């Protein structure tokens, strides 16, 4: 790679972008104007919210004689409010019908008035509320003076005092706010009544409330302000880094296609990697500048305007430093993703359509750290984008030790995501079919006719993706309707229907409709004789390692109590099922149905992407997503990569089925192991030990030995002649720099239908 070419391309792209007034407006002008206006708007809205009054209908105003007094004229008593000015926020309207109609009619009328929105809330007093309250007080005085009634009469007197009700409408925010204010007022009034009753009875207040709960805030005011900014600045950083990268990337790729200048650039002496790197640096520059100017504008706005609002202040200096350090990898990640999507787009208009899907996929990773229960840990630090937000939030909140502890993990994941995104962008530029796709009009009827009429021996990438999406949609749509089976028969029926109808049926139907050689598509051929026992040995050898990885995943991402209870209940159903039927349902049936779908139809279609490992990984990810529980999805994705490699290397689905069967059967056998089965030898404790809930726990010597055996088996599989698709052969030829047509055919054997 020549840095001089990269520098020339980068300078060219920067000059082109600086001539675009829209780009300059988004980077420089919009941040300067947007946030001051937004801050002023928030300040005005906050003032409007603080000054808004609530209309309260009071029903049963004849109870004003209750002591202590709740009303002062047409307002609540001033002593009920911490700030006397807030008493004016509750505007009281006394019911003019009070005393003229029955209490039930008054209650129904108040309900109607609040429901129609005439009043935000209503305060309803039962009939003779004040009289009955005074009777209670008289009973207290009489008891203290020796004129006490019997205990039964005293309890009856107290029980006769009804409670006032607040009538409000949960469908109205203003009504809920009025209800909260009324609850605060009535709470203080009730507390005053309690104090007066205690005084009349001669009981000291300390006997009922011996102490008060205090609260001491040890955070400094600057850290308190950092908590508020920690919820805003990381989100703004990510959103504007994505937005700042998207539009320049669209112009540098899809825009050049429309202007006809991309062909000239591709014909230059610069290599494709140099072109991508030059464009990437340009997009990163504009992404970083957009995010930086927006953050500076937010900081100035916070200093000038938002400091007048409670909880806000000047952003801490550490926040600016942390955000600046995180800006480079975030800009690189989003710039590479946007550049790859822009290269795929046929036009600027089409490229702009990709912003919303990319934003929708990114926002859950940004919003997840905003949940109070999500904290920075080893598990969350391994999630792309989410780990960055949690790290920044910890730094802004002053929680430095977790940030220092998990910063290397966040950095490693972010760098890996950046490298993969850059590699994807380079691959997009290396594919002529992607760069120069022709415009097409979507007609579902013609598209289906084309798939059936012009079908090849193996499915297309679109057909494979469509099959995977169909399986996922059906599983997640029908999943909520499937309840926990109450009997072994129900469990067996549910498993059979799920495997046959939701997983195997879509793949088999699409193989019959959209391919001319379903047997070749589903890899239904005999492999080398030793691959089938080799797959069984591989699954058995890797079982201890798989158990260790499963335990590590559960520690990183613990299951919720509900999921754990559901799995334990399902395991109890297993104990009631015949062992051979259980083996058929858990091992044999999934090994057949899932392999036909994911390593048969889907993997065969993804082979036309031109990269063997890309097809294996994509099919494994779909295989993992088909499992509903997160922990199972992660393990299934790893196992899917292993099975996909066996299918590609052997050219047959049978080794993958055998591996899948043995992999699912071994946990069932492990669960049936009891402590009495363990030999008494001390040496055996180094290999296996009894588990807490049954089964056995594998020692590190056995795990290491199994891993070595599994590695040897994989080396044997790697020496098999791998059948390649035409696209994979072409990609390898391009990498070798070969241009002769006769050299573009794989010298070993090629998958037909490419």
Q: Tens of pLDDT along 694-711? A: 678 888 888 999 999 999
Q: Which residue has the higher pLDDT, 668 or 682?
A: 668
Rounded CA separation 550/541 (Å): 15
Question: For residue 745, what pLDDT is reported?
Answer: 41
Note whether residue 680 is domain-resident. yes
Report H helices in 398-443: 400-430, 432-435
Per DSSP bridges, beta strands 75-76 and 90-94 are unpaired
Q: Which of 435, 453, 488 is the last residue of a domain?
A: 435
Question: For residue 186, what pLDDT is reported?
Answer: 85
pLDDT at 521 over 80: yes
Q: What percent of the chain has pLDDT over 70?
A: 79
> Tokens 């193989």 sit at which residue?
511
Same domain assignment for residues 358 and 497: no
Integer CA distances (angstroms), 65 to 130, 133, 134, 204, 543, in order: 6, 10, 9, 26, 80
Per-residue pLDDT band for 749 (boundaries 50, 70, 90) equals very low
Q: Which residue has the higher pLDDT, 532 or 212?
A: 532
Same domain assignment for residues 182 and 253: no
Provide CB contacts within 8 A for 452, sequence distance 6+.
513, 514
Provide CB contacts within 8 A for 69, sequence distance 6+.
77
Question: For residue 534, what pLDDT is reported?
Answer: 94
- Average pLDDT in the chain: 79
Query: Tokens at residue 699, please?
Result: 């020692």
pLDDT at 741 over 50: no
Question: For residue 748, what pLDDT is reported?
Answer: 40
pLDDT at 754 over 50: no
Please return the burial class of 103, using the count of CB atoms within 10 Å of its CB with bins 0-12, 13-18 and 19+: middle
Looking at 82-96, 274-288, 478-492, 545-559, which range is the least confident one?
A: 478-492
Per-residue pLDDT band for 438 (boundaries 50, 70, 90) equals low
Same domain assignment for residues 354 and 500: no
Paired strand residues for 94: 58
Rounded CA separation 394/234 (Å): 11
pLDDT at 429 over 50: yes
Question: Structure pTM?
Answer: 0.74
- How many of the other CB atoms lie within 10 Å of CB of 634? 19
Looking at 50-54, 373-377, 514-518, 538-542, which range is the least confident one?
A: 50-54
Question: For residue 658, what pLDDT is reported?
Answer: 95
Rounded CA separation 213/191 (Å): 16
Note whether residue 748 is domain-resident. no
- Ramachandran assignment for 35, one of left (phi > 0), alpha (psi -120 to 50 degrees), beta (any other): alpha
Query: Tokens at residue 231, please?
Result: 């919820």
- Secondary structure element (H or E) that encloses residue 219, with its range: none
Same domain assignment for residues 224 and 203: no
Rounded CA separation 163/149 (Å): 23
Would you list the DSSP string of 503-515?
IIHHHHHHHHHHB
Same domain assignment for residues 471 and 429: no
Whether the Cβ atoms of residue 494 and residue 584 lie closer than 8 Å to each other: no
Same domain assignment for residues 201 and 225: no
Per DSSP bridges, beta strands 121-124 and 165-168 are antiparallel
Note whether residue 31 is domain-resident. no
Q: Which of 180, 208, 236 is the last residue of a domain?
A: 208
Query: In a 3-state reduction of DSSP, which class is residue 409?
Result: helix
Note whether residue 24 is domain-resident. no
Question: For residue 314, what pLDDT is reported?
Answer: 59
Note whether residue 422 is domain-resident. yes
Query: Tokens at residue 710, please?
Result: 């599994």
* CA-angle at 64, arms to 60 and 69, nearest 5°: 135
Per-residue pLDDT band for 739 (boundaries 50, 70, 90) equals very low
Rounded CA separation 329/389 (Å): 12
Domain count across the chain: 3
| Distance spanning both ends of the chain, measured CA to CA | 32
Determine the length of the chain: 754
> Tokens 């950046």 sit at which residue?
418
Provide CB contacts within 8 A for 257, sequence distance 6+.
345, 346, 347, 435, 436
Q: Which residue has the higher pLDDT, 665 or 437?
A: 665
The alpha carbon of residue 565 and the mean position of all alpha carbons in its chain are separated, in whole angstroms, by 23
Phi, psi of 671 (to 5 degrees): -65, -25
Rounded CA separation 99/104 (Å): 12
Write out pLDDT tens, residues 325-354.
888 888 888 888 888 888 888 778 887 788
The 90-94 sheet, strands edge to edge? 90-94, 54-59, 121-124, 165-168
Same domain assignment for residues 331 and 475: no
Rounded CA separation 194/281 (Å): 71
Rounded CA separation 231/370 (Å): 7
What average pLDDT does range 83-111 have in this prediction? Answer: 77
pLDDT at 496 over 50: yes
* CA-angle at 393, arms to 388 and 398, nearest 5°: 130
Cis omega before residue 194 (within 30°)? no
Same domain assignment for residues 199 and 331: no
Integer CA distances (angstroms), 103 to 75, 163, 439, 637, 743, in order: 23, 14, 74, 66, 96
Report H helices in 305-399: 317-344, 348-353, 355-367, 378-381, 386-396
Question: For residue 226, what pLDDT is reported?
Answer: 57
Q: Considering just the CA atoms, what is the radius of gyration of the chain in Å?
A: 35
What average pLDDT does range 500-522 have in this prediction? Answer: 90
Note whether residue 427 is domain-resident. yes
Per-residue pLDDT band for 750 (boundaries 50, 70, 90) equals very low
Rounded CA separation 655/646 (Å): 7
pLDDT at 240 over 70: yes
Same domain assignment for residues 135 and 87: yes
pLDDT at 152 over 60: no
Q: Which of 178, 208, 238 is the last residue of a domain?
A: 208
What average pLDDT does range 730-742 have in this prediction? Answer: 59
Note whether residue 426 is domain-resident. yes
Same domain assignment for residues 173 and 316: no
Containing domain of residue 119, as a range?
52-208
Q: Which residue has the higher pLDDT, 507 or 737?
A: 507
Same domain assignment for residues 133 and 270: no
Q: What percent of the chain has pLDDT over 90?
A: 16
Write out pLDDT tens, residues 567-626.
777 666 666 667 788 888 888 999 999 999 999 999 999 998 888 898 999 999 999 998
Same domain assignment for residues 101 and 196: yes
Q: Which residue has the higher pLDDT, 56 or 487?
A: 56
What average pLDDT does range 190-205 have in this prediction? Answer: 79
What average pLDDT does range 442-464 have in this prediction? Answer: 76
Note whether residue 34 is domain-resident. no
């Amino acid at each position: 790679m020549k840095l001089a070419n990269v520098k020339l391309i980068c300078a060219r792209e920067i000059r082109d972008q600086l001539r675009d007034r829209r780009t300059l407006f988004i980077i420089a002008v919009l941040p300067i104007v947007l946030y001051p206006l937004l801050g002023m708007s928030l300040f005005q809205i906050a003032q409007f919210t603080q000054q808004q009054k609530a209309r309260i209908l009071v029903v049963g105003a004849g109870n004003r004689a209750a002591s202590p007094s709740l009303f002062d004229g047409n307002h609540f008593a001033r002593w009920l409010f911490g700030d006397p000015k807030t008493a004016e926020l509750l505007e009281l309207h006394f019911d003019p019908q009070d005393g003229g109609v029955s209490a039930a009619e008054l209650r129904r009328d108040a309900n109607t008035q609040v429901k129609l929105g005439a009043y935000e809330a209503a305060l309803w007093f039962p009939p003779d509320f004040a009289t009955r309250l005074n009777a209670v007080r008289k009973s207290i005085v009489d008891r203290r003076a020796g004129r006490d009634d019997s205990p039964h009469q005293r309890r009856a007197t107290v029980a006769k005092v009804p409670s006032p009700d607040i009538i409000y409408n949960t469908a109205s925010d203003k009504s809920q706010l009025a209800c909260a204010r009324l609850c605060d007022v009535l709470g203080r009034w009730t507390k005053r009544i309690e104090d007066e009753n205690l005084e009349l009875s001669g009981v000291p207040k300390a006997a009922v409330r011996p102490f008060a709960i205090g609260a001491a805030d040890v955070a400094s005011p600057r850290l308190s302000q950092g908590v508020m900014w920690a919820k805003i600045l990381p989100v703004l950083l990510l959103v504007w880094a994505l937005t700042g990268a998207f539009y320049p990337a669209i112009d540098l790729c899809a825009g050049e296609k429309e202007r006809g200048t991309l062909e000239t650039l591709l014909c230059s002496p610069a290599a494709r990697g140099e072109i991508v790197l030059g464009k990437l640096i340009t997009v990163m520059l504009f992404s970083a500048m957009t995010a930086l100017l927006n953050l500076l504008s937010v900081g100035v706005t916070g200093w000038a305007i938002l400091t007048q609002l409670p909880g806000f202040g000047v952003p801490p200096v550490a926040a600016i430093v942390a955000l600046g350090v995180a800006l480079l990898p975030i800009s690189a990640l989003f710039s590479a993703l946007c550049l790859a999507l822009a290269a795929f787009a046929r036009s600027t208009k089409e490229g702009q359509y990709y912003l919303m899907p990319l934003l929708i996929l990114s926002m859950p990773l940004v919003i997840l750290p905003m949940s109070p229960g999500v904290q920075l840990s080893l598990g969350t630090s391994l999630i792309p984008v989410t780990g960055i937000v949690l790290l920044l939030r910890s730094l802004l909140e002053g929680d430095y030790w977790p940030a220092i502890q998990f910063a290397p993990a966040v950095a490693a994941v972010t760098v890996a995501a950046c490298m993969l995104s850059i590699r994807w962008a380079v691959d997009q530029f290396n594919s002529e079919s992607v760069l120069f796709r022709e415009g097409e009009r979507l007609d579902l009827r013609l598209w289906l006719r084309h798939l059936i009429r012009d079908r090849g021996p193996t499915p297309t990438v679109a057909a494979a993706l469509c099959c995977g999406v169909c399986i996922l949609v059906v599983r997640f749509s029908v999943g909520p309707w499937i309840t926990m089976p109450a009997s072994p028969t129900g469990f067996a029926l549910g498993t059979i229907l799920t495997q046959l109808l939701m997983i195997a049926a879509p793949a088999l139907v699409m193989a019959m409709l959209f391919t001319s050689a379903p047997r070749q598509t589903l890899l239904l051929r005999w492999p080398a004789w030793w691959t089938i026992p080799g797959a069984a040995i591989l699954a058995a050898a890797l079982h201890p390692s798989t158990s260790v990885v499963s335990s590590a995943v559960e520690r990183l991402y613990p299951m919720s109590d509900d999921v754990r209870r559901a799995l334990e209940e399902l395991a109890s159903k297993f104990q009631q099922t015949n062992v051979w039927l259980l083996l058929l349902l858990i091992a044999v049936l999934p090994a057949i149905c899932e392999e036909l779908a994911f390593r048969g139809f889907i993997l065969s279609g993804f082979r036309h992407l031109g990269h063997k490992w890309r097809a294996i990984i994509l099919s494994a990810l779909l295989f993992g997503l088909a499992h509903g529980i997160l922990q199972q999805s992660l393990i299934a994705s790893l196992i899917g990569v292993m099975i996909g490699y066996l299918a590609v290397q052997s050219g047959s689905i049978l080794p993958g089925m055998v591996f899948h069967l043995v992999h699912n059967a071994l946990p069932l056998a492990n669960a049936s192991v009891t402590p009495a089965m363990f030999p008494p030898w001390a040496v055996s404790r180094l290999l296996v030990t009894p588990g807490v809930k049954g089964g056995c726990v594998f020692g590190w010597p056995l795990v290491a030995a199994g891993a070595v055996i599994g590695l040897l088996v994989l080396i044997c599989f790697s020496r098999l002649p791998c059948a390649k698709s035409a696209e994979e052969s072409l990609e390898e030829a391009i990498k070798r720099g070969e241009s002769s047509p006769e050299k573009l055919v794989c010298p070993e054997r090629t998958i037909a239908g490419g």
